Structure 1
Amino acid sequence: MTQPATAYHSWRESLVSLRHPRVISMLFLGFSAGIPLLLIFSSLSLWLREAGIERNAVTFFSWAALAFSFKFVWAPLIDRLPVPFLTRWFGRRRAWLLVAQTSIIAAILFMALTDPSTGADSLTRMALAAVLLGFSAATQDIVIDAYRIESAAPRLQALMSSTYIAGYRIGMVVAGAGALYLADLFGSDAGAYNYGAWRMTYFVMASTMLVGLITTLTIREPETDRSADLHYAPTDYLRLLAVFAVTAATFAMVFFLGDAPFTGLKTAAGGGVLTGFLLEMLHFALAVSAGVLIGWMLVKLGAINRVMARETWVEPALDFFRRYGLKTALLLLALIGLYRISDIVLGVISNVFYQDLGFTKSQIATAVKTFGVFVSIAGGLLGGLLATRYGVMRILMVGAILSSAAQLIFIALANAGANLVLLYIAVGADNLVAGLASAAFVAFLSSLTSVSFTAVQYAIFSSLMTLLPKLLGGYSGTIVNGIGYPGFFIFTSLIGIPVIGLVWLAGKRLAIADRARMASGAKN
């Protein structure tokens, strides 16, 4: 892919493209991708709160979705490794989709069979199930993103992003509002917790993933030449997989062994929000460094083919820096890492906020998980059409400005209390802006991706997009305890302001690069 396209299309051309089969197929794959996330975030948070789990522990569960932020680590394996038998029968992308989707179903069933109210051991099992769900869902995202980029021309990417987001949001309605309605229907609420109700709810959620399985079995494999990826021996692939497993195990071991010491340090430091966040960042950095060190040592010792290791993990990153240059590449990475920080940090605690204000689970389901999601679908379609009509960078700027401003509406809601009209206004504005900004942002990320390293580069971008926001979001409960909800929403608005400047700088640099490339082409 090249830099974001500056060619604009008429409204008629944009609307006709909505009927393209590839564009429509993304609706169903988006639905499949939208199911798992809320089963880790909001629906699980309400389940845990009803089960008597403290608010701080509930928001820490959002870290179970950090697999989405580290998926670039194993994305190269998805690009390189064939799945025995399935790759031959279905093709590389569809084979990995089937593996990911069946793993998602297994993880949701694992959660359904765990009652978090029965003690620390059950809460640990729930955390492990949530991590498995996050890992499987992140793997599905890697493959869907690669499939989308490889299966259609750049001119369709904004609209494919829009229909993907529409399907994603519909999946969120099912996993969000649907889960809450079912839990109510089966007999569980804040005053009368019923594990059986949540178990049946998650059984139903597992069955919804059949939509993804059926879609995977019916779509066509992208027509790309990836034969060069298959020139290594089967033992080389197995050794590569083994090194990854050892590296991942090292990261997990160091992280969990370091939990107690770092918890002690946070307590000794007084439990401040900033201190706790910095210590947790150090905790993650040490675990990641340990995993990288072990992986590097295994490569040096000849555990895997060094050329293969370089092609798998190093070349995709070098390609990005070669194409854009160091300064522009770093600017683009900063924009990617911060663009969605306001709405992701707010989203981690939003359901707890609504519940603390006094809204019932049914009111939250109707306003947030139904009305809000359909508004976000409209925002996504609008964002795709506007990006196709006026260009991606312009809509990125509009999205950045509105995303920061929309946070302020929640201050009024926090001060008003359980005001249903204001709830709908806040939710509507937030979701409309989020949908519009997300459609343009996904198209922007797709345009930065090289077809030679589709899964890896897009995984790096989308991982970076959520890493810092999710780490910070894990402390949202602690921040609210310290400064209250109005102060928290002022904070989420302020952290979005630097994004506006980054969009302006990135647009300027990419425009200069476009002109230089066109001038070079004219001379040649």
Structure 2
Amino acid sequence: MKNQTVSRSPWTFIPTLYFASGVPYVIINNVSTVFYKKLGVNNTQIALWTSLLYLPWIIKMFWGPIVDIYSTKRRWILATQFAIFCCFGLVAFSLQVPNFFFISLAALTIGAFISATYDIATDGFYLLALNPAQQAFFVGIRSLFYRLAVIFGSGILVVVAGFLEVYFNNIALSWTFAIGFSALILAILFIFHAFILPLPESDTQRQPQGATEKIPYWNVISSYFQQEKIGAVLAFILLYRFGEAMLVKLTSLFLLDKPELGGLGLSTSEVGLVYGTFGVISLIVGGILGGFVISKYGLRKCLFPMALALNLPDIFYVYMASAKPSLTLVYPLVSLEQFGYGFGFTAFSVYLMYISQGEYKTSHFAISTGIMALGMMLPGLISGYIQEKLGYPVFFILVCLLTIPGMITLFFLPFKEENKRQTS
């Protein structure tokens, strides 16, 4: 039995593993803003508390060694999938009680820590269950299915909730069914993976051998911060998406808010289609095109133009907040902004890979992505408060201005080619 599962094709489990990774992330960090808005929570509270939900993905590197040392990656995957199912079941139930905000937020917080742990185990299992050639081939496949999970969560799920709002004439009940449906899908994936996941011979439990086990861990952390021009690198990671981080937390709220409050007054289903479906498809296309352009022309030539592609479309929101265009025009404007985001974000991701070199490159990349998540969380914490004080038009103007510091950092970055010359 074990020999059979060792040789199982990655096509049978990689797509579902990464779909199961994307669903909790998008519901916890994105969809939560939509259902809290529909349930009457104000923008300041939504932006503050849902931004804090990014925290586990920021600090997950600190308990990564626990996942690596204790038990197997396969057991971690199954345990965390079942736990996420339980958390989402609690969220769905909590929406039917008066103090739903506290209970659901607590469940989402626990779910965020579990989901971040699932991501650690899944990435580790990916490296153990696939050989190097398969790892290279399936990197695009896993990214595709992660993005499909985003479309499912922020698109299909929101659209379904919108239809149920009309059918039941009850917002809370509609979202109970929607979140409960996502929990059911995760339960099905848990059962599927319990039978289908292979048992790689290298996926064994390792026990720490004493105090010396701790030394490499701290060497990994310290070596990251000893890199050349680390100050410029950290500023780049934190500031490159500063404006976008402010924008993304308020986008759905702006689309949902009534015109008298400065929003566009779209329905839940319309937001699911505009932002969660067509927007995400545009994001995917932009990311694919960005990868092609970088492979053809190189990162150094592409970095600044791609930063402009990410940031300049933010001005579309200034226009929409002022002109209140028809839904027909909202579709292409949101899609173009998301296309630019996907295109420009590719350069950001590739640069993080460029600086993750040497013996600890996997851990260094995890540190970079943790700092990246911090750069998304901090602006999001204050975005709702600022928007309510300034109103949408001035807020979006401020978002555009806050893209400038990140673009300035581009002129101070070290590049891989420079590092090679210095070490050769």
TM-score band by shorter chain is: 0.7 to 0.9
Q: Which runs of 5+ in 1 are unaligned?
A: 1-20, 234-304
Single out whichever of 195-204 and 27-36 deviates more from structure 2.
Answer: 27-36
Question: 8 Å contact 1:75–1:459 — kept in the other structure?
Answer: no
Aligned mate of 1:230, from 200, 203, 206: 206
Distance 1:213 1:515 in 2: 51
Q: Which amino acid aligns with 2:247?
A: L
Structure 1 residue 385 displacement after superposition: 2.5
Aligned mate of 2:183, from 188, 206, 217: 206
Distance 1:167 1:339 in 2: 26
Change (3 A) 1:442 1:137: farther
- Determine whether 1:68 maps to 2:44: no
CA-based RMSD of the aligned residues comes to: 3.3
Aligned mate of 1:309, from 191, 211, 214: 214
SS of match in other structure, 2:33: helix
Question: 8 Å contact 2:53–2:109 — kept in the other structure?
Answer: yes
SS of match in other structure, 2:90: helix
Question: 8 Å contact 2:255–2:271 — kept in the other structure?
Answer: yes
- For residues 261-410 of structure 1, the aligned pairs below 5 Å read 306-312=211-217, 314-321=218-225, 324-325=227-228, 328-356=229-257, 357-410=264-317
Structure 1 residue 380 displacement after superposition: 1.9
Residue 420 of structure 1 aligns with which residue? 327
Single out whichever of 334-343 and 480-489 deviates more from structure 2.
Answer: 334-343
Normalising by the residue count of structure 2, what TM-score does the alignment of the two structures yield? 0.84
Change (3 A) 1:349 1:26: farther
- For residues 146-295 of structure 1, the aligned pairs below 5 Å read 146=124, 162-187=140-165, 192-209=169-186, 210-211=188-189, 214=192, 218=196, 230=206, 232=208
Residue 46 of structure 2 aligns with which residue? 58
- Determine whether 1:124 maps to 2:102: yes
Q: Deviations for 1:109-162, whole angstroms, at most 9, x for unmatched residues? A: 11111026603xx322111101012112222233344556775769976x8665
Change (3 A) 1:374 1:360: same
Q: Which runs of 5+ in 2 are unaligned?
A: 1-8, 258-263
- For residues 27-106 of structure 1, the aligned pairs below 5 Å read 27-62=15-50, 63-79=52-68, 81-83=69-71, 87=72, 92=73, 94-106=74-86
Residue 6 of structure 2 aligns with which residue? none
Q: Which amino acid aligns with 1:319?
A: S
- Determine whether 1:108 maps to 2:88: yes
Single out whichever of 194-203 and 123-132 deviates more from structure 2.
Answer: 194-203
Question: 8 Å contact 1:146–1:458 — kept in the other structure?
Answer: no
Q: Which amino acid aligns with 1:50?
A: K
Question: 8 Å contact 2:77–2:122 — kept in the other structure?
Answer: yes
Distance 1:471 1:202 in 2: 27
Instruction: State the aligned residue count.
Output: 407
Structure 1 residue 74 displacement after superposition: 1.5
Distance 2:318 2:240 in 1: 21
Question: 8 Å contact 2:58–2:370 — kept in the other structure?
Answer: yes
Change (3 A) 1:167 1:128: same
Question: 8 Å contact 1:345–1:476 — kept in the other structure?
Answer: yes
Structure 1 residue 223 displacement after superposition: 9.0
Residue 3 of structure 2 aligns with which residue? none
Aligned mate of 2:385, from 455, 478, 502: 478
Distance 1:492 1:41 in 2: 20
Q: Which amino acid aligns with 1:405?
A: L
Once the two structures are aligned, what percentage of the paired residues are identical? Answer: 22
Distance 2:241 2:11 in 1: 24
Question: 8 Å contact 1:76–1:456 — kept in the other structure?
Answer: no
Q: Which amino acid aligns with 2:345?
A: S
Distance 2:360 2:143 in 1: 23
Aligned mate of 1:445, from 352, 375, 384: 352
- For residues 486-505 of structure 1, the aligned pairs below 5 Å read 486-505=393-412
Q: Deviations for 1:149-208, whole angstroms, at most 9, x for unmatched residues? A: 775769976x8665444322211111112222222333369x954432211211111133
Structure 1 residue 383 displacement after superposition: 2.2
Change (3 A) 1:145 1:418: farther
Question: 8 Å contact 2:283–2:343 — kept in the other structure?
Answer: yes
